[in-house]
Amino acid sequence: MELGVFLVGLLAGVMSGLFGIGGGIVMVPTLIAFFGMHMLDANAASLGAMLLPVGVFGVVNYYKAGFINIKESLCISLGLFAGSFLGAELALNINIGLLVKLYAIFLLYVALSYFNVPGLIFKRKKEDFFVAKNNEPHAYWMFILLGLFAGVIAGMFGKGGGVIIVPVLISLFHYDPKAATATSLAALQLPVGLPSVIVYAEQGHLNLIYAELMAVGIVAGTFFGSKLALKLSAPFFKKIYALFLLGVALYMMIKYI
C-alpha cells in the first residue's frame, strides 16, 4: 500500500513538472480508483502532500531557462492561499455525489478547451490557439484574482490549482505554454493549500503518512517532468496535456456519473 502511494506521488510529480499542476489531478482520482479512498480523504492527502515545496527542483529548471516571473507567481500564490479555505469549506458542505459530478464536468471542460473547440466552431485558425501571443503587461490584482479562483477549485477538488492557472495564463494572459507551466509551478511552491488542509484535518480526513509518501515521490518526479517539458515543442506540449486531461475527465465521468 505504502509503495503504491509513493508511486502515485512520483507520477504526480512527473505530471507536475510537465504541466505546472500541483499533482492533485493525478493523485485524487488514483487514490479513489485504486486505493478505495473517500473523495474527501483523497483531497486531504493530495493537498497535504503539496504543502512543502515539493516541486522546487522543477522550478529551478524552469527559472534557469528564463520562464518564470517571480512577482506574478507570488501574486497568484496570495490568491491561492485565500481561496483554498473557501474551497475546502464548500467541499465539506456539499453533497459528495454532486461534488464528484462537478469535478468530472470541470475536467472535461478544461480538456476540451485545450483542443480549441470554440475556435473550431468559429473557424478560428489553428495557429491562433497553438502559438502564444507576445506577453502583455497585466495588473497584479488580476493574478491575485486568478489565484483566488484557482484556490477555491483546489480546495474543493484537492488540486494545487495549476489545472486552472495554466489554461487561463495561456488563453487570457497570452503566456507561452512553458512560461504558464513554470509560473504556475512556482506559485504552488508556497504552502498555499494550508487553510484547506487544516479544514480537512479538523474533520478527520487527513492521512499524514500517505501525504508524506506522495510528497517524496513528487519531489523526484517534478525534476524529471520539468526536464522533459523543456525539450518538447509548444504545440506538442499542449496536445499531450489536452489528452491527459481528457482521459482523466472521461474516466471520472464513466465511473461516477
Question: 13 and 222 in contact (C-beta within 8 Å)?
Answer: yes
Confidence at residue 252, expressed as pLDDT on a 0 to 100 scale: 63
Question: CA 79 to CA 55: how far, in whole Å?
Answer: 19
Which residue, chain included where needed, has cell 490557439? 129
Confidence at residue 156, expressed as pLDDT on a 0 to 100 scale: 80
Question: CA 197 to CA 85: how far, in whole Å?
Answer: 8
DSSP 51: S
Confidence at residue 35, expressed as pLDDT on a 0 to 100 scale: 87
How many beta carbons lie within 10 A of that of residue 117, not counting itself? 12
- Helix axis angle for 39-49 and 96-114, nearest 10°, is 60
Confidence at residue 191, expressed as pLDDT on a 0 to 100 scale: 87
With a CB cutoff of 8 Å and minimum separation 6, the contacts of 158 are: 24, 27, 28, 39, 42, 43, 44, 45, 46, 47
* pTM (global) more than 0.85: no
Per-residue tens of pLDDT for the chain, all 257 residues: 788 899 999 998 888 888 777 677 788 878 988 888 888 899 899 989 988 888 888 899 999 999 998 999 999 999 999 898 888 888 788 776 776 677 677 667 766 766 665 555 555 544 443 344 445 678 899 999 999 988 888 888 776 678 788 878 887 888 888 898 899 999 988 888 888 899 999 999 999 999 999 999 999 899 888 888 888 776 676 677 678 767 766 766 676 55
Confidence at residue 103, expressed as pLDDT on a 0 to 100 scale: 66
The domain spans of the chain are 2-256
Confidence at residue 119, expressed as pLDDT on a 0 to 100 scale: 58
Q: In terms of residues, how long is the chain? A: 257
